[in-house]
Structure 1
Amino acid sequence: MVYLKELRLTADVILRILADQLMVAASFAVAMVIHLLWAYRGAADAALLGAYAKIYGENVVILMAITFLVFAASGFYTRGRAYQSRYKMLVVAQAVMLAYLIFGFAVFMLPLVDPPRSVLFASGFFTLVLTLASRAWVHYWDSVEARRKAKANPIPPLTADDRTILVIGGAGYIGSGLLPRLLERGYRVRLLDLLLFGKEPIAQVLHHPNLEIIQADFRQVDKVVEAMRGVDTVVH
């Protein structure tokens, strides 16, 4: 629930919420249509279509509310540590499955017309595919854009007067925010980090020419000595 308290409705966050909710609503609608076509094989009349539309209208609002709360609590919109780690896709899959499990229990308890079980499974599958695919697509284009910017704005070779900064733990929650700022100011940055959460938190600067990464634990004295060579400043 800590991520719900940290939620701030900026324009970017609102767009991501709307995109997720649109995928949920579309998944549920497609699942209902597929069930209608499969169950009645083209014999649906206006009354049957109206009944399906009623089931959709009564349940989709509940589904969207549940998925929003579960997604927000899972750190989707506050970029929680687990959501930014190498296990991001697992966190997304877990959130989708949890949301549909809660939804299935809710529609069973509420005095509404329950959607068919096959609709729940199909809708959950479509939502899972769409949410995973959308995040994979965004990650891909962020990497492409980072490479394009690096090629379009190459940094001139550093001289002996330029400073080298060692950032210990630079792929963590604070360090991942510090690295881009140091690199933008022209510093040569050496990162010493065990990368427990993977390289996703620093994906936007991963291919920066002035970034050197040493994957090691700062408790390894030999690695710290190696990382300290030629360094002017240390940020722990």
Structure 2
Amino acid sequence: MERKLIKILFVEDHPLISEGYVRALKLLKKQRLELDFKISEAASCDAAIHLLQQKAPPGFDLIMLDLVIPPSSCGRWLSGEDIGREVRQRHPETKLLINTSFDSVYRINSIFKTLNPEGYLIKVESNAKVIIDAISRLIDGETFYGGSVLQVLRKNLANDFVLDQWDRQILYQLSLGATTASLSSILPMSKATIERRKRHLKEIFDVEGQDDQRLLERARELGYI
């Protein structure tokens, strides 16, 4: 029997987790004899973009994506979310399976609005059985969401805001040590625009005062940097 080849990319910077994904696929291959898998791996934004930009072979059928991975050396892609955006633009037919540690309502809502993934798992809930089930369902054209994600969706607790790429760039540059005064020379916007965006970010994250440290702490808690 000829097997159907499924091309999968694992974007994950923890080797032990990536090894777990590969083991899960081996088990799935034994369960579904009609399938075969070609696996690629990327541990950073640079590595992921390199694979996505290759013209041959054509795009992946499924990408399993962690949201927190090392940013690209050029600073254009800061996280797995940016890689997901790139996938949606370049390969809209590719299925996205998010697997992340962040389970906040803010983050889940943001990812659904920006990426609308076919699958979404929280790592603490992602044992081998769950991963196998999720990948299998996505291959079959279904969706799969972990228990915590389903609770958010069902209770409709999500907020209505989404941080755009410039909000996230401001947070990223501040996390690297940039000052508000220096941001206008790093990003293509005026100091007044940067100040306005920072005020908006503090309102979103319910942060008071002029100090940026609490803003950065809150952004890290919610998985934006």
| TM value normalised by structure 1 | 0.27
Identify the structure with bigger relative contact order (alpha carbons < 8 Å, sequence gap 6+).
Answer: 1
| TM value normalised by structure 2 | 0.28
| More strand, by proportion | 2
